[in-house]
Amino acid sequence: MRLRPLTLLWLAILVPASSFAQIDPIKRDLFQFGYNQPMEGHAPVAGYLFFYHNQPNFVRTNLTLRLAVAPVYLDSELGFNHVIGPNTDFGIGLAGGGFADSYNELRGGKYLTDESFDGNGAEISASVYHLFNPQDLIPLNLVLRTAAHYTAYDRGDDTAPNFVLPKDNVNFTVRSGLRYGGIEPVLLPALAMELSVWHEITFRNNTDRYGFAGDRSTESRSQLFWTAAALSYTLPKSQQNFFIQIVAGTSLDSDRLNCFRLGGFLPLAAEYPLSLPGYFFQEFSARQFALINASYLLPVTKNQQWNLVFNGASASINYIDGTAQSGHSVSGVGGGILYRSPADKFKCVLACAYGFDAIRSSGRGATSISVLLQWDLEKTYGASFNPVQPGHWRGWSHLFGN
């Protein structure tokens, strides 16, 4: 892989985490880094590098400011606590920047650069967060969010001259969900649980055919439905950790630009990252899917600073039209080493993974390596919390050459 000029400079700057699904009540300053490198095949660069700052009591006691900053992207929300009622919060969000809406065509185990293109965007949103059970230990939240998102598409360095881009567009999205529990936005949380169900409907002001001679299209309205269950538990004496997550989703009138994307191992790249170790990041475009992912952490030193990490995942996928490949079931496993400093202020994971069903030029099977880092400047522990589906890491790809 050849690095473009200024790559090392950009590595010192921060990439954002996108919008979040509820107002975070805890003061945080988190630095996160994640990178996936496939060992077989040619794939888009996959990684994240971001700094998440959350400040309750911003200016006034009922305001919370969240900022996530990138070299080419900014995401923010100003939260108003208890503004509608004692258990109901309101948030106004602004986001925008370069390459967040870029699209990479991955089909049959191949990265098709001539069918991939850049997308730049800006968004304004409004959210309502209602807590049903303020007296209970595990919170039950209702989330309602509406957003207007503008996207301007542009040709990438390798986009085919005869490939017609989609029209620039304004999307209007309404998301609603119920979440019982949640997971904090940290690497390998020690204790967490979640049960949630979500619906998202997106309206486009422009629909058209694009691609080669109009061989693909965008839908005027598409809907995504998904549900998730997760549990992370650490044994008090041995400090062994078990994590399992099950996510399933379906859609109506979905297309390449608005669907579920599965693959790779970047656990903080999304609220529900749909990880499949050993595969390209977002290798599969799904109309429907069911995914189970499990991890096990085993301390190998008395002070728990060095640990072995094991991960496995399996998914059943119904593909978006035009992206199908042979076989609807895919599985992968991975393992690595975790180092964590005293008080967990710093964590580092080095891992290797194998995708049993990955289609590559040599046949089935592929290997990838991952590096994950977390630096917690505050080292705070807070109420259950979880970030929303971002997918704004594509600015990273523009900074590298493949």
Distance CA 12, CA 9 (A): 5
Over residues 123-144, mean pLDDT? 95
From the number of C-beta atoms within 10 Å of its C-beta (0-12, 13-18, 19+), residue 24 rates as buried
Which residue from 76, 190, 68, 192 is spatially nearest to 139, judged by alpha carbons? 192
- Decide: 20 and 268 in contact? Cβ < 8 Å: no
pLDDT at 361 over 70: yes
What the chain holds in terms of domains, given with CATH numbers, is 7-398 (2.40.160.50)
Output the pLDDT for position 389: 37
Q: Return all residues near 273 (Cβ < 8 A) that are at least 6 apart.
A: 266, 267
Output the pLDDT for position 167: 94
Distance CA 402, CA 385 (A): 35
pLDDT at 401 over 70: no
Over residues 111-120, mean pLDDT? 96
pLDDT at 252 over 70: yes
Over residues 28-46, mean pLDDT? 91
- Write phi, then psi, for 388 (nearest 5 degrees): -90, 170
Q: What is the pLDDT of residues 43-90, one digit of tens each?
A: 988 888 888 899 999 999 999 999 887 777 888 999 999 999 999 999
Q: What is the pLDDT of residues 153-198, one digit of tens each?
A: 999 999 999 999 999 999 999 999 999 998 888 899 999 999 999 9
Distance CA 273, CA 303 (A): 30
pLDDT at 374 over 90: yes
Structure pTM? 0.88
pLDDT at 7 over 80: no
Percent of the chain with pLDDT over 90: 72
**Three-class secondary structure of residue 396 per DSSP:** helix
Distance CA 64, CA 127 (A): 13
* Neighbouring C-alpha atoms within 13 Å toward the C-beta of 333: 4
pLDDT band of 396, cuts 50, 70, 90:
very low
Output the pLDDT for position 142: 97
